[in-house]
Amino acid sequence: MTPKTARLVADFQPLAGAAPVRRITGILVVIVMALADATLVAQVPNRGEKLRIIAFGAHPDDCELQASGTGTLWAAQGHHVKFVSVTNGDIGHWREAGGPLALRRKQEVESANGLLGITVEILDIHDGELLPTLEMRQRLIRLIRQWNADLVIGPRPNDYHPDHRYTGILVQDAAYMVTVPFICPDTPPLKKNPVFMYYTDRFQKPTPSQPDIAISIDSVVEKKLDALALMESQFLEGGANGHAGLIPKSPAERAERVREVREQHAVRFRALADRFRAELKDWYGPAQGMKVRHAEAFEICEYGHQPDRSELRRLFPFFGD
Ligand SMILES: [Zn+2]
């Protein structure tokens, strides 16, 4: 019940002793308001309506690694998907750095996501220097509001990389606040708190990832592998921890290196399917769930709207009903 309806209900309390006709009219008004309320707080769009999903990653490759299979599935159904890199990735290479690397990585994520039908934005924050400041919190609040998001995805705040940790903190800090009108009043607040979810990770402390849903990306895995292979600075050349030996010296070496990188990524997405087999079987049924080869998985953050199973099915409309 919204405060407005609560006030109405309170206003009609004195009607308890009123004449029956007035009392019934009053009760009807309250019922109508409560129904209007229910529509307002229908947190997840109904089936058939287009979803709006925004995912945050610390660097221009994090969203792509974690969610671009599911992102492609959404985009193919006409839903609106945006990947935001909170830093510009300008130290993410063993040989290059600064503006030229930031520009190179911007072009890489634009080509990769162009292939998948996903919108991209990169914030001009130096790689390795992200802090969970009030200014950054406000930037994320505005981005989520501007996208009118139904679903927001980000990393958990337990991770080896400080930029990943602080991206997780910032996304959590934006949850709920996106609905509060007088923070960032220049950007209209959302009427509903979106669902917030985390990517999975391999960190065990304080708790391991416990995804609430696992998605088969088998039908789009080739596309995802193609997209990741376009991010040459990170995957062909090894990013911050690469070395000169990785750079292909001939077209044949290049083709071999692309094959190698694609296989490394495929192994990673197959490992996720094995690790979250129980969740796949739960969502796809035992027989189909066993057959899934490549997966992505997502965990509900407790600070956004808490979707029930039917709402999750509407947010992830990939189960054929
Ligand atoms: Zn990263």
Residue 23 has pLDDT above 70, yes or no: no
Ligand 1 centroid distance, CA of 90 (Å): 12
Ligand 1 centroid distance, CA of 292 (Å): 27
Task: Provide the 10 A C-beta neighbour count for residue 103.
Answer: 13
Ligand 1 centroid distance, CA of 159 (Å): 10
Q: What's the sign of the alpha-carbon dihedral 300, 305, 310, 316?
A: negative
Residue whose C-alpha is closest to residue 278's, from 290, 266, 269, 270:
290
* Residue 166 · residue 206 · CB < 8 Å: no
Task: Provide the 10 A C-beta neighbour count for residue 318.
Answer: 16
What is the pTM for the complete model shown? 0.87
The whole-number pLDDT of residue 31 equals 53
The distance from CA 237 to its chain's CA centroid, rounded to whole angstroms, is: 27
Ligand 1 centroid distance, CA of 57 (Å): 7
Kindly state the tokens that stand for 155. Answer: 């990393």
Residue 131 has pLDDT above 80, yes or no: yes
Ligand 1 centroid distance, CA of 164 (Å): 6
Residue 17 has pLDDT above 80, yes or no: no
Write the pLDDT tens digit of every residue in 251-286: 999 999 999 999 999 999 999 999 999 999 999 999
| Torsions phi, psi for 44 (to 5 deg) | -115, 130
Ligand 1 centroid distance, CA of 311 (Å): 30
Write the pLDDT tens digit of every residue in 217-241: 999 999 999 999 999 999 999 999 9
Ligand 1 centroid distance, CA of 115 (Å): 21
Residue 7 has pLDDT above 50, yes or no: no
The DSSP symbol for 319 reads: S
Ligand 1 centroid distance, CA of 59 (Å): 5
Share of the chain above pLDDT 70, in %: 87
Task: Write down the domain spans for the chain.
Answer: 3-40, 52-315
Q: How far apart are CA 84 and CA 147, in angstroms?
A: 11
Write the pLDDT tens digit of every residue in 163-200: 999 999 999 999 999 999 999 999 999 999 999 999 99
Ligand 1 centroid distance, CA of 157 (Å): 13
Ligand 1 centroid distance, CA of 92 (Å): 9
Residue 22 has pLDDT above 70, yes or no: no
Q: How far apart are CA 278 and CA 268, in angstroms?
A: 17
Q: How far is CA 223 from CA 69, 85, 254, in A?
A: 8, 20, 19
Q: Is the CATH number of domain 52-315 3.40.50.10320?
A: yes
Write the pLDDT tens digit of every residue in 32-69: 444 544 444 568 999 889 999 999 999 999 999 999 99
Could you please report the per-residue DSSP string of 66-131?
HHHHHHHHHHHTT-EEEEEESS--TT-SSS--SHHHHHHHHHHHHHHHHHHT-EEEE----TT---
Ligand 1 centroid distance, CA of 86 (Å): 10
Three-state SS for 295? Answer: strand
Ligand 1 centroid distance, CA of 24 (Å): 60
Residue 2 CA neighbour count, 13 Å, CB half: 16
Ligand 1 centroid distance, CA of 200 (Å): 13
